[in-house]
Structure 1
Amino acid sequence: MRLGVLDVGSNTVHLLVVDAHPGACPLPAHSHKTELRLAELLDAEGSITGHGVERLVAVTAEALAVAEDKGCEEVLPFATSAVREARNAEGVLARIKDETGVDLQVLTGPEEARLTFLAARRWYGWSAGKLLLLDIGGGSLEVAYGMDEEPDTAVSLPLGAGRLTAGWLPGDPPDPAGVKALRRHVRAEIARTVGEFARFGRPDHVVATSKTFKQLARIAGAPGSGEGRYVQRVLSRTSLEEWVPKLSAMTVEQRRGLPGVSPGRAPQLLAGALVAEAAMDLFGIPELEICPWALREGVILRRLDHLPTG
C-alpha cells in the first residue's frame, strides 16, 4: 500500500510518501517539503501568530493535495514541539481540522524519542545490541536507550537548534559571550539526564538522526547524500570539537557555503553543534553513526505493525 506521513515540525512541513506493507522495508516514493519555521512564527506570549496559522493551514492543504495526487491510501499526520508548546495549540489544531479535514496528532517529546528509536532499531537490527539514540530537532533534543524496540528510557529536552538560535544567538556572527552562555545552558540541561541513562550501562552502538547531525557529519568529512543511503556516515567528537569554534566565528552566509549545509538550516548550525558536542561529551561518546531513518519512518513502521498480514 502507499502511505503518506505528514510531519509538521519546528522547521519544515514534510510529506513523505512510501510504498510499504507489513514485513517489508518501506520504500520512499516521493518527498514534499515546505520550510515554514513555525518556531519563529510565535508572538510574545508563545502563541502561533495569525499569519503563522494561515500559512500552516495552507501548507497542510497543499501537502494533502500532493498525497492525493501520489495515490496515498492513508496519510498519517503528526506535529512535534512547535505546535505542542504553542499556547493556542488547541485552536490551531481545530482550525486545521475544520479547513483541511486533517486531524493532526500532537506527539509528546517521549513519544518522539520512542518512535525515532524504533526506526533506528529496525534499521540496525538486533545485532546493534544496546542502542543509544540522539536526535536534534528544531525545538527539542530527544535521547533514548534500550535493548529492544521499545527503549528502556527516553527523554525530550527543550534544546532544539531553532529554539536555541532564536533565544540565545541573535547576532551574525554571534556574540562570543552569547555562545559561551548557551554552551553552559546546554550542558547543564543535558547533565541532569545523564544519570538516568548511566544506570543501564554502556551502549554497544550510538546513533544519531536529524538534519542537524547529518550536516555536522558532512562538514566533518562524511560522504554526501549523492553516495546513497547505505554508505556509512560517522561523526567523531574530536572532529566536532574542532568545528565548533570555526562555526562560532562564521557568518550565516559563510556557513551556507559549507558542504551539505542547506541555506535554511545554516543559521541553526552552531546551536545544533553545541548541543551535539555537549551530548557526545557528557554521555562519553567518542563516535556515533548517522542513521538514515528517523521519526517519520518510526511513525510508518508503527502503523504497519498494526496492519493485518497477508
Structure 2
Amino acid sequence: MRSAVLDIGSNSAQLQVVDVASGAPPLPVHAVKEPTRLGEELQADGSLSERGAHRVAAAVRRTVEAAGRLEVELLYPFITAAIRDATNRSDVLDLIEVESGIRPQYLSGEEEARLTYFAAHRWYGWSSGHLLLIDIGGGSMELALGRDVEPDLAVSLPLGAGRLTRSHLNGDPPGRSELKGLRQHVRDTLSEVLDRLRWEGNPRRVVGTSKTFKQLARVAGAAPRRRGPFVKRELSLADLRDQIPRLTDVNTRKRAELKGISRPRAGQIVAGALTAEATMSALDVISVEICPWALREGVLLHHLEAHSATPELPLRALSRTAFASKGEKNDGVTARGTVTALPARRGPPA
C-alpha cells in the first residue's frame, strides 16, 4: 500500500511517500517539499500572520495535490511546533482545511520525542543499546532516552533553532552579547531535565536527528546527502566548536554559501549550532551519530507495526478518497481522518 506522511513545519511542508510492505524499511519513493517560512511570520502576540497562514495553506494544498497524483492511499498529515504553539492555531487549521480539504492533526512535544526515538531505535536495531536522542527542530528540541522500543524519558523543550533566533539573535551577524545570552538561556532551560537524564545513566549511543544536525555535520566534513542514508555520519563536539566561528562571524548570505547549509536555514543555523553545543556539553556527549530517520519515519513505522504491541499512534490516517475529495463525503469518508480500505493500486503512478 502506498502511504505518505505530510509534515507541516516552520520551514516547509514535506510530503514523504513510501510503498508500504510488511518487514520492509520505509524508504521514500517520492518526496515533495513546499516552502512555508513560518518563522518570519510569527507576531508579537504569538500568532501567525495572515500572510503566513495563507502561505502554509497554499503549501499544504500543493502537497495534497501531489499526493493525489502519486496515488497515495493513506496520508498522515500533521503540524509541528510552529503551528501547534501559535495562539491562532485553530484559525490556521481552518484555513488549511478550506484550502486543501484536509485538517492536519498535531502531536504534543512529548509525542514527537517518543515517535522520533522510535524511528531511531528501529534504524539501529538491536545494536542501539541505551540510546539518547537529540532532535533540534525549528520550534522545539526533543530529548529521549531509553533501552527498548519505548523511551524511559521523552521531553520537549522550547529550544528550536527558529524560535531562539527570533528571541535572542537580532544582529546579522549576531553580537557577542547575543551569543552569550543564547548560550545561557539554553543551559538554563536544559537544567530542568539534566538531573533526570543523568539519573537514567550514561547512554551507549547518542544520535542526532533533524536538518540542524545533518547540516552541522556536513559543514564539519560529513559525507554529502547524495552518498545515501547508509553512510555513517558523525558530529563531534570538538568539530562543532571549531565550526561555530565560521557560522557566527559572517552574515546569513555568507552562511548560505557554506557547504551543507541551505538558504532557508542559513538564518537559524547559528542558534541550532549553539543549542547543539550547549546540549552536548551539558550531557557530556563527545560525539553524536547522525540518524537518517526521524519523526516522519516514526509515524510511518507505527503504521507498519499497527498490529504489534507498540502503543497506539496518536495520528489517524486519511484515505485517498478523503484527501482527494477536498472535504466532501465520499463513500462515508470525510477529510477529518477516518481510515478506509481502498482497492490495491495497479501499476505505477501516472
TM-score category of the 2 structures, normalised to the smaller one:
over 0.9
- 1:38-82 alpha-carbon deviations (Å, 9 max, x no partner): 132122211111111111211111110000111100110001101
Pair 1:166 & 2:166 matched: yes
For residue 29 of structure 2, give the secondary structure of its aligned residue in structure 1: strand
Within 2, Cα distance between the matches of 1:183 and 1:258? 23
For residue 264 of structure 2, give the secondary structure of its aligned residue in structure 1: coil
- 1:1-310 equivalence runs, <5 A: 1-306=1-306
Within 2, Cα distance between the matches of 1:258 and 1:49? 31
**35-44 or 71-80, which deviates more:** 35-44
Within 1, Cα distance between the matches of 2:307 and 2:32? 25
Residue identity in the other structure for 2:301: L
Within 1, Cα distance between the matches of 2:246 and 2:26? 38
Within 1, Cα distance between the matches of 2:264 and 2:91? 28
Deviation at 1:191, TM superposition (A): 2.3
Residue identity in the other structure for 1:24: A
- 1:8-55 alpha-carbon deviations (Å, 9 max, x no partner): 112211111111123221121111112212132122211111111111
Structure 1, unpaired ranges of 5+: none
Residue identity in the other structure for 2:117: F
Residue identity in the other structure for 2:109: G
Within 2, Cα distance between the matches of 1:121 and 1:221? 25
Within 1, Cα distance between the matches of 2:92 and 2:124? 37
Deviation at 1:155, TM superposition (A): 0.7
Within 2, Cα distance between the matches of 1:238 and 1:27? 32
Within 2, Cα distance between the matches of 1:253 and 1:61? 30
Tell whether the 8 Å contact from 2:54 to 2:95 is kept in structure 1 after alignment. no
Tell whether the 8 Å contact from 1:247 to 1:255 is kept in structure 2 after alignment. yes
Tell whether the 8 Å contact from 1:145 to 1:153 is kept in structure 2 after alignment. yes
Deviation at 1:125, TM superposition (A): 0.5
Tell whether the 8 Å contact from 1:142 to 1:155 is kept in structure 2 after alignment. yes
Within 1, Cα distance between the matches of 2:187 and 2:35? 29
For residue 27 of structure 1, give the secondary structure of its aligned residue in structure 2: coil
Within 2, Cα distance between the matches of 1:245 and 1:52? 32
Q: Identity of counterpart residues, as a percentage?
A: 50
For residue 207 of structure 1, give the secondary structure of its aligned residue in structure 2: strand
Deviation at 1:130, TM superposition (A): 0.5
2:327 — aligned with what? none
Within 1, Cα distance between the matches of 2:129 and 2:43? 45
- TM-score scaled to structure 2, two decimals? 0.85
Within 1, Cα distance between the matches of 2:170 and 2:31? 31
Q: Which has the larger radius of gyration?
A: 2
Within 2, Cα distance between the matches of 1:35 and 1:176? 31
Within 2, Cα distance between the matches of 1:40 and 1:307? 42
- 1:98-119 alpha-carbon deviations (Å, 9 max, x no partner): 4422121111100110000000
Within 2, Cα distance between the matches of 1:124 and 1:183? 31
Deviation at 1:307, TM superposition (A): 5.7
Superposed CA RMSD: 1.3
For residue 71 of structure 1, give the secondary structure of its aligned residue in structure 2: coil
Tell whether the 8 Å contact from 1:22 to 1:307 is kept in structure 2 after alignment. no
Count of residues paired in the alignment:
308
Tell whether the 8 Å contact from 1:2 to 1:72 is kept in structure 2 after alignment. yes
Tell whether the 8 Å contact from 1:215 to 1:261 is kept in structure 2 after alignment. yes
Deviation at 1:173, TM superposition (A): 1.1
Tell whether the 8 Å contact from 2:130 to 2:146 is kept in structure 1 after alignment. yes
| Superposed structure 1 runs of 4+ greater than 4 Å apart | none
